[in-house]
């Protein structure tokens, strides 16, 4: 049973890191699940309850940031609803046609196209696209950082005596 839980944990870590790049896969929650699996796999508890609670809270916060940071960046630059919808449609199109990096370019291009459809000037549309793009990149790095930290912790405690 220990081997199965550890193997599932390793799979969660791998898919969790991949999920930080592919938005359809919940990266940080899967990485957190790996820590929980390791906790149950070992005879002695590996992590304290407070440790697991802290990482659960971090996982929830990062998951929320992931959704709101690109929109916050767009709102700060006055992006219209057309720009936000353009970013969402562009992200989906980018995921489908040019994974994994198409998502990031899709958000950028979609926001610009949406703003142009809304009748904004080229320079304003470009600013909205850049704000959405920067928000998406920051969110990606935040979720990837958390998942990599959890992966590091998982493997340190997996091989710890």
Cα 44 to Cα 88: distance, rounded to the nearest angstrom: 45
DSSP for residue 24:
T
pLDDT for 37:
97
Q: What is the pTM of this model?
A: 0.83
Using one digit for the tens of pLDDT, what is the confidence trace for 20-77?
887 678 899 999 999 999 999 988 899 999 999 999 999 999 988 877 787 777 777 7
Using one digit for the tens of pLDDT, what is the confidence trace for 120-145?
999 989 988 888 888 888 888 999 99
Domain boundaries, the chain: 2-159
Helix, strand, coil fractions of the chain, as percent rounded to 5: 80, 0, 20
CB 118 within 8 A of CB 130: no
pLDDT for 135:
84
- CA-wise closest residue to 145 among 28, 39, 50: 28
Q: Which long-range contacts (CB under 8 A, 24 or more apart) does 44-53 make?
A: 46/157, 46/160, 47/157
Cα 38 to Cα 77: distance, rounded to the nearest angstrom: 44
């Amino acid at each position: 049973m220990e081997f199965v839980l550890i193997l599932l944990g390793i799979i969660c870590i791998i898919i969790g890191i991949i999920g930080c790049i592919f938005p359809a896969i919940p990266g940080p929650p899967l990485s957190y699940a790996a820590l929980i699996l390791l906790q149950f796999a070992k005879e002695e508890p590996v992590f304290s309850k407070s440790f697991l609670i802290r990482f659960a809270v971090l996982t929830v916060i990062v998951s929320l940031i992931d959704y709101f940071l690109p929109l916050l960046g767009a709102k700060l630059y006055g992006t219209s609803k057309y720009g936000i919808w353009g970013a969402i449609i562009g992200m989906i199109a980018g995921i489908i046609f040019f994974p994994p990096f198409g998502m990031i370019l899709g958000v950028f291009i979609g926001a610009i196209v949406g703003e142009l459809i809304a009748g904004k000037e080229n320079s304003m549309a470009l600013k909205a696209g850049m704000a959405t793009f920067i928000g998406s990149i920051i969110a990606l790095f935040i979720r990837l950082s958390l998942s990599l930290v959890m992966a590091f912790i998982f493997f340190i405690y997996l091989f710890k005596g």
